[in-house]
Structure 1
Amino acid sequence: MASLDVSFDWHGTSACSTKSPAFVISNIPADTASLRFKMVDLDVPTYNHGGGMIDYSGSSEIPAGAFSYKGPCPPSGSHDYRFTVTALNADGSLILGKGEETQAFPPK
């Protein structure tokens, strides 16, 4: 399984937004057909923020708003959020790669 390099940018993301941030992902395997995104609030891991799935077009840049999810909405202060990105084959049965990045929101 490949190790994906994942980065994302909260720029333009407001609290409680359902618009996903922009991502840059590298080391995506050639046979990747879709990318699955999942976000976890590391300060409240039981809250389900969900994520999304997109068809992979061959670009390492995933624009803001590519999928809808329950965005960061910390009740007070800043929380740490981790996105995990999984590269899947055409029928979604095989994980080809995985990577993650953690950032605080609002950014510190």
Structure 2
Amino acid sequence: MALRFVLFACAILVATPGSAGAFSISFDWSGLKLCNTGRPNRVGSPAFRVTGLPPGTKSVVFKLVDLDVPRYNHGGGTVTMTRSGTVPPGAFRYQSPCPPGGRHTYEWRATAKAGPNGRGATLGTTSARRRYP
């Protein structure tokens, strides 16, 4: 009897939408103009690939954080998500990475929201980081 219950529970987990993979993002900064003056440019967002969106996600809030200077507000934006999981370049504007005379580690943070325009309950969070330049 216990074995049947375990097998049934496993079957439910396998069939649950969104269980195929964890919520994650990746991004492409190709084409971003080099900046190392410490004075960021206002630029269009990079292309993002979003996978494993939590069920019920209507929008995703993106925020760029310089892990070497986390107090600096690079901004971000909110996008309405589609089934494709792609966010085209330029979907929102933000302050570009621009470390003064060196390399910094930057992290895009993404928060899946239940409502449109970044509102509603938080359904999941994830991040992706990269050194720049």
Structure 2-normalised TM-score? 0.73
- Does 1:87 pair with 2:112? yes
What does the per-residue CA deviation read over 1:16-41, in whole Å, with 9 as the maximum and x for residues that have no partner?
Answer: 35111111110002311111001110
Q: In the alignment, which residue of structure 2 is the partner of 1:73?
A: 98
* 1:99 corresponds to 2:126: yes
Deviating 4+ runs (over 2 angstroms): none
Q: Which moved more, 1:63-72 or 1:90-99?
A: 90-99
1:7 and 1:31 mapped to 2: Cα distance?
21
Instruction: Report the structure, 1 or 2, having the larger strand content.
Output: 1
Q: Distance in 1 between matches of 2:83 and 2:73?
A: 29
DSSP-derived class of the 1:97 partner? strand
Q: Which secondary structure state, in structure 1, belongs to the residue aligned with residue 94 of structure 2?
A: coil
Report % sequence identity: 42
Please report how far the alpha carbon of residue 58 of structure 1 lies from its aligned counterpart in structure 2 after TM superposition.
Answer: 2.0
Tell me the distance in 2 between the aligned counterparts of 1:30 and 1:59. 14
Q: RMSD value over aligned CA atoms?
A: 1.6
Cα drift, residue 6 of structure 1: 1.2
Q: Deviations over 1:39-91 (max 9, x none)?
A: 11011111110110011122211111111111111111211100101110125
Give structure 1 stretches of 5+ with no counterpart: none
Higher-RCO chain (CA-CA 8 Å, sequence separation at least 6): 1
* Letter paired with 1:60: G
Asked if residue 56 in structure 1 is aligned to residue 84 in structure 2, the reply is no
The TM-score normalised by the length of structure 1 is: 0.88
